[in-house]
A and B are shown apart, each in its own frame.
Chain A
Amino acid sequence: MKILVCLSKVPDTTTKISFTDNNTKFNAQGVTWILNPTDEWYALVRALEIVEQQGGSVTVIHVGNAEGDQLIRKALAIGANDAVRIDVEPQDAFQAAANIAQYAAQQSYDLIMTGKETINYNGAIVGGIIAEILELPYVSLASSLDVNGSTATMKCEIEGGEETVEASLPLVVSANKGMAEQRIPNMRGIMTARTKPLSVIPAFANTQTQVEVVKFEAPPTRGNVHLVDPDNMDELVRLLHDEAKVI
């Protein structure tokens, strides 16, 4: 079983978000990057569990500049066997996905896994684009994944219930909460990560972004909260009508 896990870097959840270049670029100055949580906690850990049960190897892949190396080392410390970094800072999901797909096309992975979505852009489309380019089946938002021979079984949450689907390998899967539990790297893992291979390769041809960011805007700051006494219904109605103008 050969599994490729796609890892994205995202700003730490406590980052103060700001923009530069006339609000067309994210200001990465002083940002602490972390592994995208659903990539790390669910996709990577489930891949490791499958390989631990059935044998094989887990390769992690990251599209981005050298700032990602520390995060890749962490993934190796958690247990991945080797790593690839495609040395270009992606401007959109297509650029990341197209590079990963071209790399994967040269190898033969049974499974390609991503997290559900990144916590910065929430696009949730990298897996789908990879599957499309490689002409593989794609199951998104799987909250469990089991592999039996050449068949994968996945459960996906749907409105009001759960759906169980099967697909044959090779396959692209995006991992949702429930697929696995976060693993904290231990000291042994951190030490062995030092010697695991991390290869850095240049971007593939025809993978440039196809969209241009025109403008980023921060959400409007939250207005003042107006507390109304529960006994004063008239005042509430008046405020909703006269000030909020919603009734």
Chain B
Amino acid sequence: MESTSNNIHRVAKQDPYQYHDYYNIDDLLSDEHKIIREAARDWVKREVSPIIEDCAQKCIFPKQIIKGLGEIGAFGPTIPVEYGGGGLDYISYGILMQELERCDSGIRSTASVQGSLVMFPIYEFGSEAQRKKYLPKLATGEMMGCFGLTEPNHGSNPAGMTSHIKDKGDYYLLNGAKMWISNAPFADIAVVWAKDEAGDIRGMVLERGMEGFSTPEMHGKWSLRASATGELIFQDVKVPKENVFPDIKGLKGPLSCLSSARFGIAWGVIGAALDCYDSALRYSQERIQFDKPIGAFQLTQKKLAEMITEITKAQLLAWRLGVLKNEKRATPAQISMAKRNNVEMAINIAREARQIHGGMGITGEYPIMRHMMNLESVITYEGTHDIHLLITGMDVTGFNAFK
């Protein structure tokens, strides 16, 4: 073991992961998609795989990978090139999220937040000055952002938020608090949603250092340990008027960001599932019990066969959703269905893979337990599993069962 910065250990062991494409879905991708995927995978294996286990064990977000994440295009790949983005399609975005989450959902979360929850709203709702000021730096990772929607008392029901702004003529005065905010502890800026005096939800960009704005870290997570999570606390923060998004009002602002991030999750979690499957398949061929590889027993084969079947279905769902998204036809309800289905698929596969690894499955020698714990966050954030079910329910019946 050699040490890297901030006490993170780098292991010499090579990441043995291999991709699995049972239905030749690669035929549906362009050459460029495959180059992007291979570059991201090579980079992850070289820079992230050797440190991820130690980061998760020690609960550290590895800041040294930020620059590399920017270089592989993980930050805002769909944002136009003139603002520093990649100008790529949504399938490229999905592929990048999948390669990151193949290694760790926490690293994917950091990229999801930066791209979909910070760069996307600044690009979509920001003034030209806001776009020019923030987007190029966010794309390289020179500046990191976070997204504050959830509050201590308002999670699934963000419309009930109590953070609010008051118009003071030259500026807005912001008060309130946000909780569970990924990247908050180290972010340079925060995209924050708060109600104005008319009760409309407005979005704004806060910068670290503004008086009255603090970002304490939340500790004690058993999940997404390699991603930093914190609170955002606003005590009489003077927000310059030019920092508020000019036109967007209401819940559709934050919800459109979530649609973009959820799309990335629907692709991303397939990565976690593939990593678990790949590890379980290899283990089942190497581990001998009762004089046979455990993969030769029917019960193990049932697990592996079901895993690759579910992965293949999820890959097709994600690919189709990517095409719809590229054609600007993907509805929020379709995205909800894919997020919900694919996260559940991944969490089930992590649990089955854990059993195939026997006792080794609970150790940091294998990525399984880390994926499994990470996915417990992924199934809750960006709309809980049940909330997405209600979205599909409402979409097909026409009845709102939320209230």
* A residues at B contact (CB < 8 Å): 14, 30, 69-70, 73-74, 77, 182, 184-188, 190-191, 193-194
Contacts and interface: CB of A to CB of B under 8 A. Distances in A.
Given A184-B39, A184-B43, A191-B87, A70 B34 contact: yes
A77 B43 CA distance: 14
Contact of A74 (B35, B46, B86, B87): B35
A184 B34 contact: no
By Cβ-Cβ distance, the 5 closest A-B pairs, closest first, are A187-B73, A70-B31, A186-B71, A185-B39, A184-B42
25 contacts: A30-B24, A70-B34, A70-B35, A73-B31, A73-B35, A74-B35, A74-B39, A77-B39, A182-B42, A184-B42, A185-B35, A185-B39, A186-B71, A186-B72, A187-B71, A187-B72, A187-B73, A187-B77, A187-B86, A188-B71, A190-B36, A190-B39, A190-B73, A191-B81, A191-B86
Q: Interface centre among B18, B32, B46, B86, by most A CB within 10 Å?
A: B32
B38 interface: yes
Nearest to B32: A190
Interface in B87-132: 87-88
Contacts of B42: 182, 184
B81 A186 contact: no
A73 B39 CA distance: 12
Nearest to B36: A190
Nearest to B35: A74
Interface in B42-84: 42-43, 46, 71-73, 77, 81
B285 to A, nearest CB: 13
Nearest to A35: B38
A74 B38 contact: yes
A190 B35 contact: yes
Contacts of B73: 186-187, 190
A221 to B, nearest CB: 15
Given A70-B34, A193-B35, 10 more contacts: A73-B35, A74-B35, A77-B39, A184-B39, A184-B42, A185-B39, A186-B73, A187-B36, A187-B71, A191-B81
Q: Interface centre among B39, B43, B77, B88, by most A CB within 10 Å?
A: B39
Nearest to B81: A191
A152 B369 CA distance: 53
A80 to B, nearest CB: 13
Nearest to B46: A184
Nearest to B47: A184
Nearest to B24: A30
Interface residues of B, number: 20
Prevailing SS type, chain B contact patch: helix
Contacts of B72: 184, 186-187
Prevailing SS type, chain A contact patch: helix
Contacts of B38: 74
A73 B81 CA distance: 20
Interface in B9-37: 18, 24, 31-32, 34-36
Contacts of B86: 187, 191
A73 B33 CA distance: 11
Contacts of B87: 191
A80 B166 CA distance: 56
A183 to B, nearest CB: 10
A10 B36 CA distance: 19
Nearest to B71: A186
A14 B41 CA distance: 15
Contacts of A30: 24
Given A186-B71, A187-B86, A190-B73, A77 B46 contact: no
Interface string B243-274: 00000000000000000000000000000000
A42 to B, nearest CB: 16
B275 to A, nearest CB: 15
A77 B35 contact: yes
A68 B210 CA distance: 54
A176 B81 CA distance: 38
Nearest to B139: A187
A184 B42 CA distance: 7
A116 B73 CA distance: 32
Nearest to B21: A32
Nearest to B86: A187
A73 B43 contact: no
A82 B378 CA distance: 43
B77 A194 contact: no
Contacts of A185: 35, 39
A73 B32 contact: yes
Contacts of A188: 71
Contacts of B77: 187
Nearest to A194: B32
Contacts of A193: 35
Contacts of B43: 184
B308 to A, nearest CB: 16
A177 to B, nearest CB: 16
B39 A186 contact: yes
A30 B22 CA distance: 11
Q: Interface centre among A14, A188, A191, by most B CB within 10 Å?
A: A191
Contacts of B71: 186-188
A184 B67 CA distance: 14
B1 to A, nearest CB: 21
A194 B87 CA distance: 13
A194 B81 CA distance: 14
Nearest to A187: B73
B39 A14 contact: no
A69 B88 CA distance: 20
B78 to A, nearest CB: 12
Contacts of A70: 31, 34-35
Interface string B383-403: 000000000000000000000
